[in-house]
Structure 1
Amino acid sequence: MTEIDHQIIKRGESLVRKTQLFMRWGSVVALATIGSVFLVLFVGSAFYDKRFNEILYDHLAAAIGIPLAALTSLTLVLALEQVSGDVEIEAWGLKFKGASGPIVMWVLCFLTLVTGIKALW
C-alpha cells in the first residue's frame, strides 16, 4: 500500500471514532433533553390534576422507577464502554460481540433493576 492509502485509512478511522463519540454523547444529550421536557410536563400536570396525583401515587414504581431504570442501565453500559472499550459477553456457551454486547448488557442491567424495584415495591 502506498502512503496515500495509509493516509486515507487513517482519516477514515479517525472519522469513524468521531462519529461513534458523537452518536454516544448525542444519544445521552437527546435522552436528557427528552427526559427533562417530560419531567417538566409531568411535574406541571401534577399541580393541576388531582386524579393524576392519585394515579401517580398508586403506580409510582411504574411511572418513575421503570424509566429511571432504563436510563440508569444506559448510563452503566455507556460508562463501561467508555472505560473498558467494546463490551463482549460470554455466558452459558453464548458469545455476544459487536453491537449485541451492549444490547445484552443493557437488557441484563435493566431487568436486574426492574426486578429489584418489583421486589422492594
Structure 2
Amino acid sequence: MPDLDSETHALHEPDAHTRKFQAVASWVVVVILIGFGSYALMKLVSVHETPGTYWRDLIREQFPVLVGLPMAGLGALFVTLILRISTGPLEFEMAGVKFKGGAAPIVFWIICFLSIVLSIRMLWQS
C-alpha cells in the first residue's frame, strides 16, 4: 500500500521545468534590482545639475529616508532572493514558530529589512 504522505508531498513538489523557471526568474529580478539600484545612485549623483537647491537640500536633510529606506528594501530583497536561489525554498523556526512555504521569504525579508534600517538608524549621525 502506498504511503499517503509521500504521495501528498510529491503533488506539492514542483517539477524540474518549474524549478528552472523560478531560478531564471529570480536571477532576472536580481539583475533588475542591481540595475535599478545603480541607476538610482547615478541619478542621485547628478542631482546637483538641477536648477535651484530644493532637491539638493532635501536629499542632504532626508538622505536616510529618501535613499536609505528604498535601498534597504532592495538590499533585503536581494539577500532573500540570493538565499532562495542558492539553497532552495526557505524554511526556518523562530521563537517556537515554524515558517515555511510563502510565509518564510516574507518574514525573512522583514527581518533583513528591519535589521538594515536599524543599522542605518544606529550609524547615521544627525
Distance in 2 of aligned mates of 1:118 and 1:66: 10
Q: Provide the aligned C-alpha RMSD in A.
A: 2.0
Q: Secondary structure at the match of 1:55?
A: helix
Question: Deviations 1:90-116 (Å, cap 9, x if unpaired)?
Answer: 112211101211111110010011011
* Ranges in structure 2 where 5+ consecutive residues have no aligned partner: 1-13
The amino acid across from 2:95 in the alignment is W
Identity in percent: 34
Partner of 2:32: 30
* Ranges in structure 1 where 5+ consecutive residues have no aligned partner: 1-11
Counterpart selection for 2:102 from 88, 91, 99: 99
Task: For CA contacts below 8 A with separation 6 or more, give which structure has more relative contact order.
Answer: 2
Q: Do the aligned partners of 2:30 and 2:81 also contact (CA within 8 Å) in 1? A: no
Question: Normalising by structure 2, what TM-score?
Answer: 0.74
Task: Within 5 Å, give how 1:1-121 maps onto structure 2.
Answer: 13-49=15-51, 50-121=53-124
Which has more helix, going by share of residues? 1
